[in-house]
Amino acid sequence: MTTTLRALALLHNQLPCALAAAVLTLVAPFALAQSDVLPLTTPSGKPPAFTIVSIKRHGTASGGGGTEGCYVDTCHFTGRPLLAFIMVAYNLSQRPILGNPLPSDSDLYDLDAKIDPADLPATPLSSRQLAHLLEPVLADRFQLRVHHEMRTLPVYRIVLAKGGLKMKESASPAPAALGSPELPTGAPPGSCYHTSAGNGLRVERDCSMNDIKNILEGPSGRYLIDKTGLTGRYDFELHWTPDDTPADSPLAGGPSIFTAVEEQLGLKLQPAKAPVDVLVIDSAKRPSQN
């Protein structure tokens, strides 16, 4: 079975830390990850890792609650399928996935993973770095086995539209602005973040073209390749009508994502084919009990 980017986007709309990508959140605003590179050591001299892990079948008796996502020293999710955890751990908004993670995708789980407070790195980990630490957790508890392949797939190339760029270049935020409503607490300059996000809406600040590429992959339904040559950071608002919008919805009759990107951002999505790094799920099992 092939899971497309559009199918992944349905889950991605609910996941706060699939970040380097088009990262939609359950809590806003949420800063995008700065780097996937993990510090080499912790106070114990070992690489950072989740040492306190709880995975339970979701049900009416499940604890739940709290802010979902990966932050500070924890990843916490309630009532999610394994596919959602895979998306977060492997940053799947950037590429498609092949295979079914479990015989029944309706199995839902609560996951809590935490780094031992005594072994936190001196430099706080980003949400993306924390999410990366879920890979060995899924391998251990779900017996998840995956591999990468290059596949030639339909993609979209991002190019400048004929009317020229319509996004505004970002102004560098002053240090005093950190922690203000306009900039998430702890988000350093150079963090792409959104001040508003919803069905058919993105209001983004201080984003590179790589951030913008990741943001547009979900609604466009394909892997994107940036061909603009733009190196700046930009602010923009994007309003569009998703493909699955009901006819009686207030959003009905609005522009498609393709029209909106061209008219509102000054960019164009051109169809093409290109080699894409695909994650293939070889096998997985229901998790062992805590």
Domain of 231, in residue numbers:
152-275
Identify whether residues 140 and 185 lie together within a single domain. no
Distances (CA, A) of 260 to 208, 267, 271: 19, 9, 16
Identify whether residues 104 and 157 lie together within a single domain. no
Identify whether residues 10 and 129 lie together within a single domain. yes
Residue 74 domain-assigned (yes or no): yes
Identify whether residues 48 and 138 lie together within a single domain. yes
- Number of structural domains the chain divides into: 2
Residue 290 domain-assigned (yes or no): no
DSSP secondary-structure letter at 214?
H
Identify whether residues 176 and 223 lie together within a single domain. yes
Identify whether residues 178 and 255 lie together within a single domain. yes
Identify whether residues 140 and 162 lie together within a single domain. no
Identify whether residues 107 and 60 lie together within a single domain. yes
Tens place of pLDDT per residue across the chain (290 aa): 455 444 455 554 444 433 333 233 322 223 333 345 666 678 888 889 999 999 998 875 555 556 788 988 999 999 999 988 998 998 876 567 888 777 665 689 999 999 999 888 888 888 888 999 999 999 999 999 999 999 999 999 999 999 999 999 998 654 434 333 444 444 445 568 877 778 899 999 999 999 999 899 889 989 999 999 999 999 999 999 998 888 888 888 899 999 999 999 999 999 999 999 899 999 999 987 66
Identify whether residues 64 and 111 lie together within a single domain. yes
Identify whether residues 196 and 109 lie together within a single domain. no
Distances (CA, A) of 38 to 33, 46, 74, 94, 228: 12, 12, 15, 19, 30
**What is the rounded distance in angstroms from the CA atom of residue 207 to the CA atom of residue 221?**
20
Q: What is the pTM of this model?
A: 0.69
